[in-house]
Amino acid sequence: MLLTSRERINNIERLSGKRKPVRFLELAGLNPLEGRAIFEEIDDFVATDEEWQELVEFYNGNPLALELAAHHIKKVFARNIANFLSKGKPIFANIKQLLDWHFERLSDDEKEILYWLAIHREPISITNLELDILTKTAQEKISDTFDSLQIKLPLEKSKYGNCFTLQPVLIEYITEKLITTVCQEIETGKLQLFNNHALLQAQAKDYIRNTQSRIFIEPISQRLINIFQTQKNLENYLQSLLENIRQNTPLLPGYTSGNIINLFCYLKTNLKGYNFSHLTIRQAYLQGINLNDVNFSHSDLTQSIFTQSFGGIHALAFSPDGQLLAAGDSNGIIRLLRVADRQQMTTFQKHGWWVVSVAFSPDGQKLVSSSIDGTGIIKVWDIVTGRCIHNLEGHTNWVWSVTFSPDCQTIASGGNDHTIKIWDAKTGDCLQTLAGHNAWVLSVTFSPDGKTLASGSYDKTIKLWDVETWNCIRTFTGSEDAIWSVAFTPDGEKIASCGFEKIIRLWDVKTGECYQELPGHKKEIKMLAFSNDGKTLASGSFEPAVKFWDVETGECLATGKEHQTPIRTLAFSSDNKTVATGDH
């Protein structure tokens, strides 16, 4: 008995095999010459050999599809195949009806895979496709879903059979279905397909991403503008969808937020002031997009791509939990980066020139920054909103260093005007001005117990200040050149200093004695920092090099030479093993 079928018959497949009574033979499509014969039985058609080949290959040589196409081209395009290929819709009514019948028989999991295969536009492995799928259940069933899908529809396989894609006619059909469904979902606000699939894949190859933008983002944008009448109406509506997610289902897993942001980017929407906080933003492609004053705080930016365009990095600070890194650059911009995936979360705008110092409050809620823009203004930022809370005005020129007290109540700053100023972190009021240095104050830091403030100056001295009285209680002398940076050990018993004299000095806080010198750098040492456990000291110099020292023995443990220009700043994470460095 010989039986033909559009799909494999599941309940007799177990009877097939080399020594079993049943054989399954997959019929290949017709070649261009055989496909052309179908058309010639219907009428005389006008086409070149190349056009015949394109037409037959598009329908994968399927005899029924070619017969339907022949009648359609005869009726609508006067038998001119070139006109059909250039102007017609390859998924015309009769073909669509046939494909609709197949599509409606599929399960939701099978449909999801078809949509993803259409989005990828090139063969993809099951393993890689699994990474796109949101639900754990669908991920676990993906192999079974592929098996059942291949029974119902022919999938194209790569040479070694480990990657899959769709036949051209199916790609066109699924693409149109996805575009139509997405537009309907956005109009009604019932986002399912739109949330489960990325219309554009930020990390894809350039030509794939550009194709996805042209095939999906462009027509969806145009149709939505027609639905909402103006681009502004559409932008406002899309913002309302994001606000609804933020208020009701923050960090909802899915692609909705990334898809909406990609639509904004295609529309060239001015994103200044937009709030994208507390959202799951997957597959957003933001290279070359102006993100000034855009809030990404507390958002999941997995698989999203940003422009990593920095000026020289002059200030770095890790958040207390080590999850965030603040970076101040020579353009006056502060960027907040997530350490885990190195993605930018937000930017703080803006100082007039180089940002030379940044520091988190110990509770991780605020950031203080200073600049050498000549205004003397220190800025205090809210980490969650990205807004500037206070402008601290009092210094008359460059402000080289800022820091929070351990109790988060006080900010200390040192500047070119030879003074240290103490500020109320809540109100922004200047509480005290400390005079004593006779040159620029380049570094200020509180002791871990918050009882002492240390300052380092261009005048070659370190001063200790009693936080209760703000009196100078000790001056360390002995440095032979300007001091750029001072840091307490975590136990508060020692201070490390560095600067223009190319050595690191370790000081006893109680006696003021320099008990150890760490030579090794060949040029000025701009910054140093202790690890949280107090075992390691990191130092960055103009060589450029970063060195790591054993605090107990004074031994240089390692030297990093990856920078090409002088190291201007560094910061030690609370994990005791991660150091960030920045150069100009």
- Are residues 116 and 67 part of one domain? no
Please give the average pLDDT of every successive group of 10 residues along the chain, which has 584 residues.
Answer: 67 74 76 92 92 89 88 91 82 82 91 95 90 91 89 79 85 93 96 96 87 96 96 96 93 93 96 92 89 82 73 88 90 85 76 91 93 90 87 92 95 94 93 93 95 94 94 92 94 94 92 91 92 92 90 90 85 90 83
Domain boundary (178, 197, 216) is at 197
pLDDT of residue 1: 72
* Predicted TM-score (pTM) of this structure: 0.55
pLDDT of residue 298: 81
Cα gap 392→132, rounded to integer Å: 47
pLDDT of residue 95: 81
Straight-line distance from the first to the last Cα atom of the chain, in angstroms, rounded to the nearest whole number: 79
- Are residues 120 and 81 part of one domain? no
**SS3 (DSSP) at 454:** strand
Looking at the structure of the chain, the number of domains it has is: 4
Q: Which residues pair with 493 in a beta bridge?
A: none
Write out the E strands in 258-405.
285-286, 305-306, 313-318, 324-329, 334-338, 343-348, 355-360, 366-371, 378-382, 388-392, 399-404
- Are residues 117 and 65 part of one domain? no
Residue 552 lies inside a defined structural domain of this protein: yes
- Other CB atoms within a 10 A radius of the CB of residue 429 amount to 12
- Are residues 400 and 472 part of one domain? no
- Are residues 584 and 457 part of one domain? yes
Residue 519 lies inside a defined structural domain of this protein: yes
- Are residues 416 and 535 part of one domain? no
Domain boundary (177, 197, 217) is at 197
Count the helix, strand and coil residues of the chain and give each as a percent rounded to the nearest 5: 30, 30, 40
Domain assignment of residue 44, given as a range: 24-88
Residue 67 lies inside a defined structural domain of this protein: yes
What does the DSSP 8-state code read for residue 27?
P
Measured in whole angstroms, the distance separating CA 497 from the mean position of its chain's CA atoms is 36
- Are residues 517 and 402 part of one domain? no
How many degrees, rounded to 5, is the angle at CA 521 between CA 516 and CA 525? Answer: 85
Residue 94 lies inside a defined structural domain of this protein: no
Residue 223 lies inside a defined structural domain of this protein: no
Question: 32 exposed, middle or buried (CB, 10 Å; 0-12, 13-18, 19+)?
Answer: middle
- Are residues 319 and 423 part of one domain? yes
Residue 240 lies inside a defined structural domain of this protein: no
- Are residues 429 and 463 part of one domain? no
| CATH at 141 | 1.10.10
Domain boundary (197, 212, 230) is at 197
Q: Identify whether the C-beta of residue 216 lies closer than 8 Å to the C-beta of residue 198.
A: no
Count of residues making up the chain = 584
pLDDT of residue 257: 96
Residue 40 lies inside a defined structural domain of this protein: yes
Residue 490 lies inside a defined structural domain of this protein: yes
- Are residues 61 and 115 part of one domain? no
pLDDT of residue 357: 93
- Are residues 103 and 33 part of one domain? no
pLDDT of residue 341: 72
- Are residues 562 and 513 part of one domain? yes
| CATH at 367 | 2.130.10.10
